[in-house]
Structure 1
Amino acid sequence: MERHVEGARRETAGVGAARAYELVRKELFGEFGADFFRSYIDPLRLVAEMDGVLLFRAGSQVAKERLTQQVQHRLEARLRAYEPRVSATQILLEHEIPDDVRALAHARIEEARPQPVAAPMQAQSFLFDTFCQDGSNQRAYAVAQMIASGDGEAFPVWLLHSAPGYGKTHLLTAIAREAAVRTPDRKVLMMTGQEYLEQFQSALHKKRDSSAFKEMVRAPDLLLIDDFHRICGKKATEEEAFDTIYELTRRGGQVVLAANHGAAGIEGLDDVLRARLKGAASCEILEPDAPLRRRILDMRLQHHARLTPGFSVASDALDMIAERVHGSGRDLDGALSQLLIEWKISGGIQVTLEAAANALQPQLSEAAERRITVQLVQKVVARSHNMSVQQLLERTRRHSIARPRQIAMFLACRMTHASLPDIGARFGGFDHTTVMYARDRVAALVDQDPAFRAEVETIARAIRREP
């Protein structure tokens, strides 16, 4: 098989250095993965061909070292498969390119922007078109689209935060991809906080000089760092991040950061950097409700079906998962992956509601064991309003107590299995009609006031996370 593939490649020999590199880039993407490719290979430019030697320009000293150690020998072998005249490659920095090469017009290769390299199926799903929206993430989605289109100059720094699995990586990847298409002149760099940390520390340890790293992260017009909280607690790295944000935005660039908490909640964050992020624009993605979870399931099912033709799940089974599997999109992905196993074991028969319930029984049982009680709702609501449970239960009409009590009754109705009379009794003997009034009043405010809705959703999220 390998000989057959090699023979097919030889038939295309002589395509030219530029075309060969374009083809090889796609192969390197699959071999090294999206993160490594984006950080090191994507910025690599073919600048000249002289007597079979191809000269490439790396974006930084750090990139040059990584490419020389890990990529160059694979790059040469793959290039020769498409263009046998290639005898060797050299990876240089801008100032290392010989002057005589610059002077020889016929040796110069036009620096056309490389064609976007398609990501694997998993990464291809991280597009704006595949991001399911509702009130929990609509603002974040809108801002992300503005940044991708180049219309977000009003917020040079944007902090996107949420619990893990709520779509931060999806939006950052969508921004990077859309920006490459809509504003091709912008230099875009996306990396994770862990990559930022490792590459900066590597630059320090090897040469006690971070100039090459600084050159790499400050060169883009748009810098996106996912899981930014991973750098926190590392003083030198945080100071470098602060300087990077300052320098990049000072010259008109933009920085997009994604973290598990807002600026005030990121643990270990330096006070200076925290103050900088508190002054930045920010959006929080909230926990998806049942209707949004259902739409996410539909989208993810389509993704799985493209990878595994014929895979299908009954609609009522998806309804059940959306209602009973709370949490993030990753929890829903886990449920669908389990059903994919069930589908394969059954010989390709559609997964029914009964089959789904059996396959997901441990996951559903765990959720049932953590059944939310009225007492738990009272505890979290009281804590969120800086009062004791005893204060929350006082029979008073003071707004500072009555409104939190109404919120607690509303959430008890929504999140527990208690009846209206039972809830009223647990709040100190209120009639069930009082509970109904509180439920309906808070529901109306949630629909009318986005800020109030966010407050209630934050409390509900805290209740679900309570051990």
Structure 2
Amino acid sequence: MEQGEEARRDTAGVGAARAFELVQKELVSEYGADFYGSYISPLRLVAELNGVLLFRAGSRIAKERLNQQVVDRLGARMRAYEPRVQKIQILLEHEIPADVRALADARIEEARQADPEPARPLELTFETFADGPSNFHAYTVAQMIGAGVGVTFPVWLVHSPPGCGKTHLLNAAAHEAIARGRKVLFMTGQEFLECFQSALHKKRDSSSFKEMVRAPDLLIIDDFHRICGKRATQEEAFDTINELTRRGGQIALAANHGPDGLEGLDDALKAKLKGAAVSEIAEPDAPLRRKILDARVAHHARANSGFSVAPEALDMIADRMHVTGRELDGAVCQLLIEWKISGGITVTLEAAANALQSKLAEGAERRITVQLVQKVVARHYNMSVQQLLERTRRHSIARPRQVAMYLACKMTHASLPDIGQRFGGFDHTTIMYARDRIAALSETDPNLKAELEGIARAVRREP
């Protein structure tokens, strides 16, 4: 008998609470840290009634995803440690019977006094999303999809650099759609890939997978770029989009790039996405960064009574850290640590500058991004960024694209491979060629040199 199986046999009958504690360690490796942290970690065992275990989910969308993807595996793993477990029920707070809820609340308070529970993750709803000019289009479309009024665009793709709020908007749309009684399936691209591959290669039958992904009213796939380059999976995604939309369903996708920038995307799926509604989220400007900081400080203050940051400190961070919302969240977490170390004193401007010294320096260096260069170059040549990224050798597009590549090399700290990815998956040698070609031409063409200097000035002036 294997060591793991023997350990399970020896610990049989450990009780539901201990069994859940042991199972959680296994679920991290099975589902991955991101999925576990978002959906399984907030799960709380509140009662055991004649072999039926009642768990409280952290949110409505978490309940849906747990019931779709986790509950059967959770039950099987729990029974390996505690054979008396017969059934798992995952409920929301208001769905738990009143007498059970009262007992659970008493236990939670008792546990909190002994070991305070960490703050719950930010609820990813429209109410907690900080909107501004850089994300307003995506925010508005996501609201329409959540409300079920976006039927005129059955497929929606939202794209941005990592950390700009795509996942937040998808979750918010899912929350709203579920609240309105729609059937929603939320997956990541990696989950779509793994579930399909498992059905195809292990079970030799993908019919159950097809039924699962084509059944909902709204199918949401985050990190859709994860399936790029996987031919069979892309074909299945293409068929899923066609079948689900044919019968009136909707699909919302999020990726790090638009259709032209997704490396490895096959032609059929690329054409399908080009015909979809597309929203781009840019990195936040200073007013939106300030808004995000306010929201994150308020969130942490709810779990840490007295936590506060001086307004001038937040102004300084918003002005100097030209980064994404995710990185601003990290900055606030750093300030929370500073606040606790100082004994609960309001974080001052000086204290914030000291605590975030490395982040502030990094944020200042990253003020000019590849995305910003693309935006300004496209505007200079009177075209859209999407046109600039087209894979074509037409001089009217190829030359501006080379100019943008050259300036990205000169004005940003991005590596050559990263710049290549930002331009739709070009190899780093292509970026080197464009850089050297434009540099050589500017040495012999004073007009081009002046043009490059003018574009560079426009990039630096861009807010």
Shorter chain as denominator, the TM-score bin is: 0.5 to 0.7
8 Å contact kept, 1:153–1:254: yes
Of structures 1 and 2, the larger Rg is shown by 1
SS of 1:216's partner is helix
78 and 311 in structure 1: CA distance in 2 versus 1, 3 angstrom threshold: farther
2-side partners of 1:172 and 1:393: how far apart?
A: 50
Deviation at 1:330, TM superposition (A): 1.0
SS of 2:163's partner is coil
2-side partners of 1:79 and 1:305: how far apart?
A: 42
8 Å contact kept, 2:188–2:223: yes
Normalised by the length of structure 2, the TM-score is 0.64
Instruction: Give the corresponding residue for 2:410.
Output: none
Normalised by the length of structure 1, the TM-score is 0.63
Instruction: Give the corresponding residue for 1:154.
Output: 152
Deviation at 1:12, TM superposition (A): 8.6
Q: Which of 201, 207, 226 does residue 230 from structure 1 map onto?
A: 226
Q: Which of 34, 38, 46 does residue 64 from structure 2 map onto?
A: 38
Q: How big is the alpha-carbon RMSD for the aligned residues of Structure 1 and Structure 2?
A: 4.2
1:300 aligns with 2:348: no
8 Å contact kept, 1:188–1:222: yes
SS of 2:237's partner is helix
Instruction: Give the corresponding residue for 1:70.
Output: 74
Instruction: Give the corresponding residue for 2:457.
Output: 409
Instruction: Give the corresponding residue for 1:246.
Output: 242
Deviation at 1:90, TM superposition (A): 10
Per-residue deviation, residues 99-155 of structure 1 (Å, max 9, x unmatched): xxxxxxxxxxxxx999789xx965553111121122211111111111111100000
1-side partners of 2:461 and 2:273: how far apart?
A: 37
Deviation at 1:70, TM superposition (A): 3.0
Aligned partner of 1:42: which letter? Answer: N
2-side partners of 1:372 and 1:147: how far apart?
A: 33
2-side partners of 1:75 and 1:301: how far apart?
A: 42
Aligned partner of 2:67: which letter? Answer: D
8 Å contact kept, 1:324–1:367: yes
Identical residues among aligned pairs (%):
56
8 Å contact kept, 2:189–2:226: yes
Deviation at 1:413, TM superposition (A): 3.5
8 Å contact kept, 2:322–2:364: no
Q: Which of 193, 202, 205 does residue 201 from structure 2 map onto?
A: 205
8 Å contact kept, 1:76–1:88: no
8 Å contact kept, 2:322–2:367: no
371 and 203 in structure 1: CA distance in 2 versus 1, 3 angstrom threshold: closer
Aligned partner of 1:128: which letter? Answer: F
2-side partners of 1:166 and 1:197: how far apart?
A: 24
337 and 247 in structure 1: CA distance in 2 versus 1, 3 angstrom threshold: same
8 Å contact kept, 1:125–1:303: no
Deviation at 1:239, TM superposition (A): 1.0
SS of 1:207's partner is coil
SS of 2:202's partner is helix
SS of 1:310's partner is coil
Instruction: Give the corresponding residue for 1:311.
Output: 307
8 Å contact kept, 1:325–1:367: yes
8 Å contact kept, 1:72–1:89: no
Per-residue deviation, residues 273-322 of structure 1 (Å, max 9, x unmatched): 11111111110011110111000000111111112221111111101110
2-side partners of 1:368 and 1:156: how far apart?
A: 40
Deviation at 1:231, TM superposition (A): 1.2
2-side partners of 1:116 and 1:145: how far apart?
A: 26
Instruction: Give the corresponding residue for 1:320.
Output: 316
8 Å contact kept, 2:323–2:366: no
2-side partners of 1:266 and 1:259: how far apart?
A: 8
Paired residues for 1:267-346 under 5 Å: 267-346=263-342
Aligned partner of 2:314: which letter? Answer: L
8 Å contact kept, 1:392–1:404: no
Paired residues for 1:118-267 under 5 Å: 123-181=121-179, 183-184=180-181, 186-267=182-263
Deviation at 1:34, TM superposition (A): 8.8
1-side partners of 2:271 and 2:162: how far apart?
A: 23
2-side partners of 1:338 and 1:303: how far apart?
A: 14
Aligned partner of 1:70: which letter? Answer: L
8 Å contact kept, 2:284–2:324: yes
8 Å contact kept, 2:125–2:168: yes
Instruction: Give the corresponding residue for 2:411.
Output: none
Aligned partner of 1:158: which letter? Answer: W
Deviation at 1:237, TM superposition (A): 1.0
In structure 2, list runs of 5 or more residues that go unmatched. Answer: 1-13, 19-45, 97-117, 382-387, 389-399, 404-437
8 Å contact kept, 2:75–2:88: no
Aligned partner of 2:75: which letter? Answer: V
401 and 79 in structure 1: CA distance in 2 versus 1, 3 angstrom threshold: farther
Per-residue deviation, residues 349-397 of structure 1 (Å, max 9, x unmatched): 1111101111111122334556869xx979x84997345466699777x
1-side partners of 2:272 and 2:290: how far apart?
A: 38
1-side partners of 2:288 and 2:208: how far apart?
A: 44
In structure 1, list runs of 5 or more residues that go unmatched. Answer: 44-62, 81-86, 92-111, 416-467
